[in-house]
Structure formats: C-alpha cells, structure tokens
Amino acid sequence: MGPTAGALDFPLSVTTQASVGVTVADRQVPKWHELKPLLRPKPIDINPTKRRLAAALTISDLRSVARRRTPRSVFDYTDGAAGGEISLKRARDLFNELEFQPSILRDVAEVDMSTTMLGQPSAMPFAFAPTGFTRLMNHEGETAVVRVAERRGIPYALSTMGTTSIEDVAAAAPKARKWFQLYVWKDRSAAQDLMMRAKEAGFEALILTVDVPVAGPRLRDTRNGFSIPPALTAKTVFGAAMHPAWWINLLTTSPLTFATLSDWRGTIGEMLDKLFDPSMTIADLEWLRSFWDGPLVIKGIQSVADARRVVDAGAEALVVSNHGGRQLDRAPIPLRLLPDVLDAVGDRAEVWLDTGVMSGADIVAATALGARATLVGRAYLYGLMAGGERGVERAVEILSRDIRRTMQLLGVRTIDELNASHVKLP
C-alpha cells in the first residue's frame, strides 16, 4: 500500500527519497575559478548622453528621455496633437492592433531594406519628415538631422518653418538627398523666393503641404503659453531651473531664427493664421509649377477624391497624412485610407504615408500595405531632444533594427517582397 494522505504532510527521509528516485544534491563552497567566468560587470560609460541613449531600446524609450531633458512646453509642442488628440491616438491604435501574417521556412539570412523614392535610392523605406522649430527641441537642430540622413542614406525634408536656413542645411550635408517643404503664404512672392533658393541650393524635390489652411487647435501649446521665441515668464523661468542645460544651449548658441522668416513674436497658432493662405486651391498648382520644375509631392491627402485630383494636376507623389494628428481632430486614419488611395491612383504616382509611426514594425506594415515609404517626424525628434545628433542616430538605429528583424520574422528578404498578405487590419 502506498503512504496515507497524512504521511505526505511530513518531509521524506533521505532513504525514502532515494527509493523514489530523488537524488539529494551535494553542496560545496564555490571556488574562485568557477565564479570568475560569471563575473562580467557592464562597463560604465562616463558620458551621460551615451548612457541615456544606449539604454533606449525603443522610440518610446527615447520619448521618455526627451520628456525629462526638455522644458514641458517644448516637449508638448513636439508630442502633442490637435483638440482631444483623437486623430493621433486612432492612428497609433491601428498600428498597434494590426496583425502580421508571417511566412515560415524562408531564407532570411540576408535582408535588403533599400527602396527608391522619386526614382532615387533610399537605404530604408522612410525619410525624415519636415518639422518646424527644430532648434527648439535641441540647439543642434536641422543640421544634426540632415547629417544623420546623409550618413544613413535616407532623404531629409526641410520645413518652411525650420530654424536653419536653406543654404546652411545644404552646406551641412552636401551629399544628402534634400527636399524642401513649402507652405504657401498670403504673400506669394515669399513662396517664389523660397522655391528659387531651394533649387539653387540643390534640393531635389518640393513637398507642398495642403492641410493647413488655418492652424489646428493645439491645446497643449495654448495652455503652456508656448510662443516663438520662448518668453521668459514666471512659468518658463521655473522650467529653466528644471532644465538648465537646454536653456544654456539656447542662449549661448546663435540666436533662434527661421529658415524663411526674419522675425516673429507670438504663438505658433497666431503665426500660421497670419501667414498661411487659406484661399489656395487646386488651380494654384499650375502657378506653383511655373516656378518649380522638379518632382512635386503633395502632403496632406485625406480622401480618395483629393488623391485623384492632385495626381491629375501632375504630382509625382502624394502623402496620405493627417499632419500627425495636429490639424483636424477625428480626421481619417492614414493607414486605413491607404489601400483605397492606392487603388485610385494606381501607378500614376508614388504613395507615401505618415502619422503615428513609432517603430520599424509600423514602417514595415505601411510598406506591406502598399506605401512606397513613410515619413518619420516625432520619432527622430524624440531622439534629437534626448541627445542631439547622437540621439537622431540612435533613433535610426532603433528603426533600422526593427525593420530588419520584422522583415526576417515575416519571411521576406527585400522590400519588394512585402505585400498586403503580410498584414491583417482589424
């Protein structure tokens, strides 16, 4: 008979353990030569920026560092969106909720992430999006970003609202693929001058942003009293005490100026409403073409009908985008709209996408659904705020690693092998 239930309440003796096949391990004091191979302390890097960046494994990690390193108003300007920020949340939610469909037993030892944009090579299927007021995020600004773009072999777009001149950006990275993003102002002569300067500086393409007839309701900026340049109010003085390095860099480097404006005093919303032309129509593309004969990209497409209209008007590429959620709240989700736009446009123009991209997996998903490439904005700005040029480089390292690994896990070796069968939208 086996032991009674009560007997199981007591420890087995050594003899009983042996009889049921349990071996009692011998114990000993570990010897140094046994411990030594296990003791591998992580080298301590005395450079705090390198430590912070090395610890950042995702774009979200860089965002957390950026939040600690910059004044709240600057971080919120970069991080925030319009109204209740519903458009941005929906875009990110769709990326998070989609399902990948991998194919197994494929040779993915070697992966090629390169593609073409506007007929020219790009080392990866994304470009740096145009962003305004970049030197506010970090004093190294646009020149840091374009240098990383040159090293990494991806295109860079300079914004009309940038804080480094067209000529200085061109000089900082002469071999980079550079595009100029244009807002058309009420003073049309200013746009003509910008296009002429961009052409003379070697910028290869023009990106016309069409979804900002007026400023979106950036509530974070209003609540923070965010102005250009930052005003030294009691609130910002307190922020300076919390982020002294940011303020020292701002005040001890060349004065904050715009790529295209000589001066401004006021909020960003007031600036946009005063300068931008809400009367512009599709007919004005003919006027624009009279000054720009290079590739034309239309950014801000949010409907199939508008995609057809701009391609009919001669655009070589379009960007399905709701401006990173920063204009119309509850706008269409670009990733959801993408397949319908592709069906409508066919092969008459390249179709790109932005809004909500926070990982290399997001870039792969958009590419699989048919986007030629994506534009990345906040992701590299978080890196810039976290560590200047080195932070932008870290952002690209993270995105590159994600793209490569996601492709391998999906069972594809080249960008051209990605297709809609690899992604299932909810």
Contact 269, 221 (CB under 8 A): yes
- 323 annotated active-site: yes
Catalytic residue among 33, 139, 243, 323: 323
Exposure string of 202-241, with b = 16+ CB inside 10 Å and e = fewer, is: ebebbbbbbbbeebbbbbbbeebebbbebeeeeebeebbe
Nearest-angstrom CA–CA distance, 425 and 94: 8
**C-alpha to C-alpha distances, 381 to 59, 129, 136, 178, 396, nearest whole angstrom:** 10, 10, 10, 18, 11
The residues, any chain, with a CB within 8 Å of residue 22's CB and separated by 6 or more, are: 12
Strand (E) or helix (H) holding 4: none
Q: Can you state the percent helix, strand and coil of the chain, rounding each to 5?
A: 45, 10, 40
Nearest-angstrom CA–CA distance, 217 and 269: 8
**The residue to which tokens 């932070």 are assigned:** 391
The secondary structure of residue 266, as a DSSP letter, is E
Query: Vertex 321, ends 98 and 225: CA angle to 5°?
Result: 110
**Known catalytic residues?**
323
